[in-house]
Chains A and B, each alone.
Chain A
């Protein structure tokens, strides 16, 4: 790192006080190159395998793994790793510079039509830098983890090609300097998500899950597109810099355009970030490989909606209705998804609903105008949720091997089949325990600081004007309830998986093993980040209390200050229109008190849940025949939302489609076309009657006609 710092110092000397981006285009290009290389290897491998199959020969016995499988091991993580190094270098450089305005690099004119000019341009500022650090950093760790996890998969190079491509599009989404660039990234990550959810496409159910994710996201993208159109109509441009600069003059506060734009943007964000009511695709997306769930469906892609709201903070500040809608949807999602997570048995489903719930927290944060808090939770969540997913991946990996060894057809993801795994996988157990404590919000782990800040801002937003006091108070209560539920379901997951006696079976248990080194190392790094990640943004009001170790924790409000150049104008509008945040929660009490209450309650809940779950008699899934009843049944069936959508939306759409097909298309449209054709044919048939082929007839008609013409001429 000293070399990097030296480079940074040199660079700073070259441009004193300024920040000169170090090869920002290369950060984008590296994952793309990785995609091309891995994709080519995947194609080569696929063609070879197909040839072997076609020739009917026995598959050639390779010495070890073929080159098409060993090269991606290096190319995949290396490209992302290099991108991370470059990003870090840029981050260091930006850290040393007092950057107030974003740096925009234009590469070429992408669209030039009439008054619309869109450039292929990237924007480097504090917000995109933080996101890039998270994406390349966590992305790199997950790539490394994948080397171990996907080792035996026949689609190994294809997997890394998709994963590289995903990082490329995610970086486009984050680094784009205008809305169309973001939209390209937005659609690109959607595509990669679809490809990776349906990675094992031979399985119908998994391919369907991919389709579901893609189609549900279309609804959100439709809103995003409409928002872009509206912005273009209002501003005549789509560049961030111009729009956010001019927004306070062009859009009236609380006006129709601002509200419409933000609500459409929100629709896009809801789809991508799996919020109520479009969250249904995310739990199904767990059909993909587990590292994919960690990278795309926990740490990065699903946070794009939060990024969008934070990026367009000025617009949301100008539209209090839009911002309140964001907050409401966030809080409702946080609570709703958390209840479902309580009664799921699939370890990945629990984590999926937990992700939905945590994304709800982030939405609540950016919705009440605490953009830094939302981004803060986004970051810490990326650490501990990626860790939880990777840990779950290690568990599933081990379970899969154990069940495979004895050919037992049990579900490797069902927590009822696990239990007592801490004896077999101590490192995984410790790291996942850290992540659990972090997400449960216990001091001094990362989740405590970020979640507490969001809840705090939600509560204090209730104290200010704007007519949303009552609403925000309710949202605050919902967030607190969701936080308690978080502690419950995460503890349940940890206890069911790692504690108690093993339920896998004696023969299988001997095959349970700790994950290989490539999987353990990322877990450990993420565990460290899950502990210290929260210290980046210790609130100033808390820093000197016991929760800041009486000033011991470093960097008070660092992220707030870091993001200030990006969020300042939005915050200014908010303060000018609504005033600042209150200094106490809706029911009284300062930040420190509520921090203490939060962590205290979380701790008590964790202990109580741990005791309750370990006393429960859990039996393996196949022997668990006692039907659930009451609320548990509803929770287990996810409040029957999928069934409701099926009844209310899917089936009517299918029925309407069938009606359109049978009646409108086949009968009305085809009928009209056929009728037009039929009339022409009729005329043709009539005309053909005169063409007998008899020379005599023709001669007769010719003569008659000639006589007629003659007669007409004479008379």
Chain B
């Protein structure tokens, strides 16, 4: 039971990671990050079945942080879009040296 949940979680995390690394659309990257977070949430919940309630507690924390992150991240993406009329991350390379 645990193994299947962890395998699913790992698959979801890897999909999220590859999404972050390979996709160019900022919104998609953002969604992929959410996918990674939720993959972790899944493993937390799975573990909490055997190790106690602590895992579920962490899940709430992760969801809270993810919500805050979504708010800030979307705001940044919107303002970047207003400036560039695009959300392709390849265009955003001004913040270097």
How many pairs, one residue from A and one from B, have CB atoms within 8 Å of each other in the complex? 28
B48: CB under 8 A from chain A?
no
A405 smallest CB distance to B (angstroms): 77
Given A696-B89, A696-B90, does the pair A691, B97 have CB atoms closer than 8 Å? yes
Question: Which single member of A691, A693, A700 contacts B92 (CB below 8 Å)?
Answer: A693
Binary CB contact string for chain A from 668 to 698 against chain B (1 if under 8 A, 0 otherwise): 0000000000000000000010011111100
> Looking at the complex, which one of A688, A691, A694, A703 makes contact with B89 (CB distance below 8 Å)?
A694
Within 8 A of B (CB), among A85-124: none
> What separation, in Å, do the CA atoms of A695 and B90 have in the docked complex?
8
Is residue A576 contacting chain B, with contact meaning CB distance below 8 A?
no
Closest chain A CB from B11 CB (angstroms): 16
Q: Cβ of B93: which chain A residues have Cβ within 8 Å of it? A: 692-694
Residue contact A703 to B97, C-beta cutoff 8 Å: no
User: In this assembly, does B3 line the interface, its C-beta being within 8 Å of a C-beta of chain A?
Assistant: no
Q: Are B21 and A699 in contact (CB under 8 A)?
A: yes
CB A706 to nearest CB in B, in angstroms, measures: 10
Binding site secondary structure of chain A: helix
Asked whether any CB of chain A lies closer than 8 Å to the CB of B24, the reply is: yes
Q: How far is the CA of A699 from the CA of B95 in the complex (A)?
A: 15
A693 to B93, CA, bound (A): 4
B83 interface residue (CB < 8 Å to A): no
* CB-CB contacts below 8 Å: B57-97 with A: 89-90, 92-97
Min distance, Cβ A693 to any Cβ of chain B, angstroms: 3
Contact of B96 among A691, A696, A703 (CB under 8 A): A691
With the chains together, A691 CA to B24 CA distance in Å? 18
In the complex formed, the residue of B with least CB distance to A694 is B93
Q: Is the CB of A693 within 8 A of B21?
A: no
Known: A688-B97, A691-B97. A703 touches B21 (CB 8 A): yes
Q: Given B17, B22, B89, B97, which contacts A695 in the complex, CB threshold below 8 Å? A: B89
Chain B residues with a Cβ closer than 8 Å to the other chain, count: 14
In the assembled complex, which residues on chain B have CB atoms less than 8 Å from the CB atom of A695?
A: 29, 89, 92
Which residue of the partner chain A has the closest CB to B22? A696
Closest to B97 in A: A688
Report chain B residues within 8 Å CB of A699: 20-21
> Which residues of chain A come closer than 8 Å to B21, judged between CB atoms?
696, 699-700, 703
Contacts of A696 in B (CB 8 A): 21-22, 24, 89-90
**Residue with the highest number of chain B CB atoms closer than 10 Å, among A692, A694, A696, A703:** A696
In the complex, chain B residues whose CB is within 8 Å of the CB of A692 = 93, 96
When distances are taken between beta carbons in the complex, the residues of chain B under 8 Å from A693 are: 92-96
Across the two chains, which residue of chain A brings its CB closest to B24? A696
Q: How far is the CB of A312 from chain B (nearest CB, A)?
A: 69
Interface residues of A in 316-347 (CB under 8 A from B): none
Distance A28 CA – B6 CA, assembled complex (angstroms): 99
CA distance A656 to B82 in the complex (A): 67
Q: With A and B bound together, what is the CA distance between A700 and B94 in angstroms?
A: 18
In the complex, what residues of A have CB within 8 A of residue B22's CB? 696
**Residue numbers in B under 8 Å from A691 (CB-CB):** 96-97
- Shortest CB-to-CB span from B31 to chain A, Å, is 14
Contact with B along A701-712 (1 / 0, CB 8 A): 001000000000
CB of B7, distance to nearest CB on chain A (Å): 17
CA distance A175 to B48 in the complex (A): 98
Residue of A nearest to B17 (CB): A703
**A41-60 interface with B by 8 A CB criterion:** none
Chain A residues in 8 Å Cβ range of B20: 699, 703
With A688-B96, A696-B24, A696-B89 given, name 9 new contacts (CB 8 A).
A691-B96, A692-B96, A693-B93, A693-B94, A694-B90, A696-B21, A696-B90, A699-B20, A703-B21
Residues of A within 8 A of B (CB): 688, 691-696, 699-700, 703
